Structure formats: C-alpha cells, structure tokens
C-alpha cells in the first residue's frame, strides 16, 4: 500500500525535479529572460505601430481636406515649416514681402506687416504657387509616414493618396509605382478590392505612354533660365540684363532676337508703368501696338516670378502679339492664372527696372553671348 506523504518522504519524492532544476536552472533562467524580452519588444513594437498608424491617419485627414476642400487645415503652417527646399522655392519665386500685393502683406488694420517670407502663412500665398508647394509638402509628409507606417492599416491609403498626388504633380511614373504596390503589397486590403477604380491606373499608364511617344518630360510650373545668350537693356537710368528661358519658348525667343537685331527697341519709351508691371516695345510709342508686326506666339501657364518678361498679346486673339512686352515687378495677384507669352527673365538690374517710369527711355537693346 502507498505510504502517506510526510515532510520527510515529500523531500525525497521531489528531489529528482529539484535536481533537474538545479542542473538546468541557468538555461531555464535564460529562456525565461529571453521570453520576457521578446514579449516586451513585441509590446513596444505594437505600441509604436499603433502610434505611427494614428499619426498617419491624422496626416491623411489633413491632406484629404487640402485636396478635396481646396484648403489646408494647417492654418498655422508657415513658409519655414515647408522645409528648406520648398521655403527657398517660395522666396526665390516671390523675392520678398516687398514684392507681394498689399492685400497679402497688410494686417487687419491696413498697416504693413513686419513679417519676413519665412514667417508668412502658407494659406495666404497667391495661387498657383500655394497649391504647388502644398502639394509637394503633402507628398513629402505622406512619403515620410509611408516609410514608417507602411505595415499599418493606414498603409494602403497612404499609397493610394500618394498615387493621386504624384499624378497631379505630373509624375505618372511615381503614381504607377504606388498603384502597383496596392495590387501586390496590399492585395488583401478592402481599399484594393472594393474602392480602387481600375480606370485610374489605366489613365496613368496611358499618360506615361503618351509622354514617351511625345518625348515629353515632367513639365515644371516654374520658369528656368539657361540660355547662353544675354540681352542687355540700356536705359536713361542704367542697365539691366535678361536671359532667355531654357528651351521653353523658342518661337518667342526667335521673334525677340529678330526685333533686337532690327534695332526696333532702340530709342523708344516705356509707355506704361505701375507697381506690378513695366511696359515697353511699342514701335509707335503710344502703347497701342503696330498691326504690321503681329505674329503667332507660344503661351504657357507658369508661376509668375519677379523679373519675368513676356510679350503683350492682342485683345482679339490671345495667341498673337506684336512688338510690345512687359516685365513683372511683383506677383500679379489678379493675373495669377493667366497664360503668358514668356520671353525670359531679368537676371541682374531689377533695381533699375523698379526705378523706371514713363518719362524714361529705352536707349539700346543688344545681344551678348555668355563667356
């Protein structure tokens, strides 16, 4: 018959387990410690993913409001918050607060603001500059979130929104990359199965094929100088220099050079000047233009920059113009969305342009090749 358990024989019966524990306690301790560490890491990782997911959904909400409602919820977003590259782009485009329309730079009492462009609210930037920098800012924000939260529930929505933004930014190749990612990486997502319109990807693919067939690259909304030819304007108050835009308006460039070579601009007046624009080039001196010089021009939407030069187009046909041209001195608030027949951009001497009035004379215009 089994003997009743007593403290004495209990110790004897337990001794094999105790002996095993004593023999392997280091291994068991290590296994227990590693298990605790793994569970702690998993807990931290899960908490991190949750936090990243929540941050990503908030960023997506802000971006969607910008895209759909055409306004940014980030009312306190300043130019300096855009990052160094976009902030420099804004400052290069607008010049300074002095070159913005007064409606943007005055406070509620009508007094001039003492802010710099770094401290200027992005929502107050004139269009299309505001939409352009906001779209790129949103892309930068979403790409940063996608890199850290691509495995969360926000991942497919981040990819889908990035595809739309890149397409709007004239980058169909980048858009296609995210559409393909939706089908491969997120093929089980509700978004991929139920909400993704397959026609969107077809549109992107067609756009890429068209760009390849036409040999068209990404079209920048900003003017880019790059010609090896400078045009020097000599006036009664000094000189300023223009450089042609890099390959964007060859027909306009050819016409302007032809007019310069004929000496048509030498000795004429500046027939109109206001705080935004300076006009010259009228062979009659009246500002009405000469119908004998009308020709076809190239027009394009570019974000206006201080110093851009463009031909005046006729009232009857916006694609045609004569010898008249104008120079932007400020960002034209009321003409922000108008297409222009651009020629070039002033690269030096804008202070001379600012000082010129209708009493001054354009003495000479000559072409000088860069050395």
* Residue with token string 């929502």: 123
Which of 151, 189, 155 has the alpha carbon at shortest distance from 49? 151
Please give the structure tokens belonging to residue 159: 């990819």
pLDDT at 121: 85
* Angle subtended at Cα 356 by Cα 355 and Cα 357, rounded to the nearest 5 degrees: 120
Please give the structure tokens belonging to residue 17: 């387990």
Which of 172, 112, 109, 164 has the alpha carbon at shortest distance from 138? 164
- Find out whether 235 and 362 touch, Cβ atoms under 8 Å: yes
In SS3 terms, the chain reads as CCCCCCHHHHHHHHHHHHHHHHHHHHHHHHHHHHHHHHHHHHHHHHHHHHHHHHHHHHHHHHHHHHHHHCCCCCCCCEHHHHCHHHHHHHHHHHCCHHHCCHHHHECCCCCECCCCHHHCEHHHCCCCHHHHHHHHHHHHHHHHHHHHHCCCCCHHHHHHHHHHHHHHCCCHHHHHHHHHHHHHCCCCCHHHHHHCCHHHHHHHHHHHHHHHHHCCCCCCCECCEEEEEEEEEEECCEEEEEEEECCCCHHHHHHHHHHHHCCCCCCEECCEECCCEEEECCCCCCCCCCHHHCEECCCECCECCCCEEEEEECCCCCCEEEEEEEEECCCCHHHCCCCEEEEEEEEECHHHHHHCCCCCEEEEEEEEECC
pLDDT at 371: 44
The residues, any chain, with a CB within 8 Å of residue 288's CB and separated by 6 or more, are 282
Please give the backbone phi and psi of residue 60, each rounded to the nearest 5 degrees, phi first: -60, -40
pLDDT at 7: 53
pLDDT at 56: 83
Average pLDDT of adjacent 10-residue blocks, the chain of 371 residues: 54 60 65 68 63 80 73 72 90 78 69 79 82 90 88 86 88 88 82 63 78 70 81 96 89 94 94 92 87 88 89 82 92 65 93 94 89 44
Which of 243, 246, 248, 247 has the alpha carbon at shortest distance from 232? 243
pLDDT at 25: 64
Which of 368, 268, 245, 369 has the alpha carbon at shortest distance from 322? 268
pLDDT at 14: 53
- In angstroms, the CA 177 to CA 113 distance is 44
Please give the backbone phi and psi of residue 25, each rounded to the nearest 5 degrees, phi first: -65, -30
- Find out whether 201 and 176 touch, Cβ atoms under 8 Å: yes
């Amino acid at each position: 018959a089994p003997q009743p358990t007593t403290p004495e024989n209990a110790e004897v019966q337990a001794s094999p387990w105790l002996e095993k524990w004593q023999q392997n306690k280091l291994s068991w301790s290590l296994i227990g410690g590693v298990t605790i560490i793994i569970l702690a890491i998993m807990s931290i990782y899960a908490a991190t993913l949750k936090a990243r997911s929540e941050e990503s959904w908030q960023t997506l909400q802000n971006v969607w409001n910008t895209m759909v409602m055409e306004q940014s919820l980030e009312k306190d977003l300043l130019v300096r918050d855009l990052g160094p590259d976009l902030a420099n782009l804004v400052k290069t485009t607008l010049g300074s607060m002095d070159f913005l329309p007064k409606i943007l730079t005055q406070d509620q009492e009508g007094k001039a603001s003492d802010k710099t462009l770094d401290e200027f609210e992005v929502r107050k930037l004139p269009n299309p500059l505001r939409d352009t920098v906001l779209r790129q800012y949103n892309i930068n924000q979403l790409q940063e979130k996608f890199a850290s939260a691509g495995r969360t529930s926000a991942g497919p929505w981040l990819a889908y929104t990035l595809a739309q933004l890149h397409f709007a930014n004239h980058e169909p190749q980048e858009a296609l990359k995210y559409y393909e990612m939706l089908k491969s990486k997120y093929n089980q997502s509700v978004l991929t199965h139920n909400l993704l319109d397959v026609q969107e990807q077809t549109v992107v693919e067609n756009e890429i094929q068209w760009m390849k067939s036409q040999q068209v690259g990404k079209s920048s909304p900003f003017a880019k100088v790059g010609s090896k030819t400078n045009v020097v304007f000599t006036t009664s108050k000094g000189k300023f220099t223009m450089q042609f835009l890099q390959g964007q308006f060859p027909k306009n460039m050819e016409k302007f050079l032809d007019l310069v070579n004929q000496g048509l601009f030498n000795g004429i007046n500046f027939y109109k000047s206001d705080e935004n624009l300076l006009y010259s080039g009228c062979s009659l001196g009246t500002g009405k233009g000469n119908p004998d010089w009308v020709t076809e021009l190239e027009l394009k939407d570019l974000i206006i920059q201080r110093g851009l030069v463009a031909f005046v187009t006729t009232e009857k046909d916006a694609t045609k113009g004569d010898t008249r041209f104008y120079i932007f001195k400020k960002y034209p608030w009321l003409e922000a969305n108008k297409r222009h027949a651009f020629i070039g951009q002033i690269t030096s001497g804008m202070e001379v342009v600012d000082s010129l009035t209708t009493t001054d004379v354009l003495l000479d215009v000559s072409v000088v090749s860069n050395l």
